[in-house]
Amino acid sequence: MIALPTPPTLSEPSTMVKTSYLVGEQADMLHRGSDTTWLRGASHDFDSFVADRVGVRQRWRVPSELFWFTSGEYYIGSLVIRHQLTSDEGGGHIGYHVVYPWQRQGHATRMLQDALVKCSALGIENALLTIAPENTASLTVMRRHGGIADGVNDEGDLRFWIKTLAAS
């Protein structure tokens, strides 16, 4: 296992992790059998790719922020916080993924913990997460944070509410 230079943190997307981002996302996509062609554009103009991902943006018709989980030049994963839910509550407040080479090392648990703090700062008292039923790793992470089941969304994903610090 690679020793990280510092504990990973959520931060704005940055060109500092270009190689690690591209390699990590490619490894993750290949591991899942997914299309990697989108990485070609990112690799040709990474500065613009990053600039398009910084700050609060309208995504899914709601204000959202993208964060990367990094340690020095190492990209570990990404996380999105929707500042409000979409009308169908399809994706919840928080979405995250850890790229394949860094999975099963506790990073997702830390990412969700940090995301709940950010949600609290936005005044979100209960954050909605939606998880595919077969995603046992995310279900474990959610349970570590006390998620409360709330049925299934229109896409067949399980819904869970997690209290943030704002609820205290």
- Taking the C-alpha atoms of residue 118 and residue 126, their distance in angstroms, rounded to an integer, is 12
Total tally of structural domains belonging to the chain = 1
Region for residue 61 given its phi and psi (left: phi exceeds 0; alpha: psi -120 to 50; beta: otherwise):
left
Domain CATH code at residue 27: 3.40.630.30
Q: What is the pLDDT of residues 63-95, one digit of tens each?
A: 999 999 999 999 999 999 999 998 887 789 999
pTM: 0.92
Q: Is residue 24 part of a domain?
A: yes
Number of other CB atoms surrounding residue 62 within 10 Å: 15
Confidence band for 168, pLDDT divided at 50, 70 and 90: low
Confidence band for 167, pLDDT divided at 50, 70 and 90: low
Q: Is residue 85 part of a domain?
A: yes
Number of other CB atoms surrounding residue 153 within 10 Å: 17
Percentage above 70 pLDDT, the chain: 98
Q: Is residue 134 part of a domain?
A: yes
Q: Is residue 1 part of a domain?
A: no
**What is the pLDDT at residue 2?**
84
CB 148 within 8 A of CB 160: yes
Sign, Cα dihedral of 137, 81, 106, 34: positive
Q: Is residue 3 part of a domain?
A: no
Q: Is residue 38 part of a domain?
A: yes
**What is the pLDDT at residue 27?**
93
Residue 125, pLDDT above cutoff 80:
yes
Instruction: Provide the residue range defining the domain that includes 20.
Output: 9-167
- Taking the C-alpha atoms of residue 101 and residue 128, their distance in angstroms, rounded to an integer, is 27
Q: Is residue 121 part of a domain?
A: yes
Q: Is residue 4 part of a domain?
A: no
Mean pLDDT of 118-134: 95
**What is the pLDDT at residue 166?**
63
Residue 132, pLDDT above cutoff 60:
yes
Q: What is the pLDDT of residues 20-66, one digit of tens each?
A: 999 999 999 999 899 999 999 999 999 999 999 999 998 888 999 99
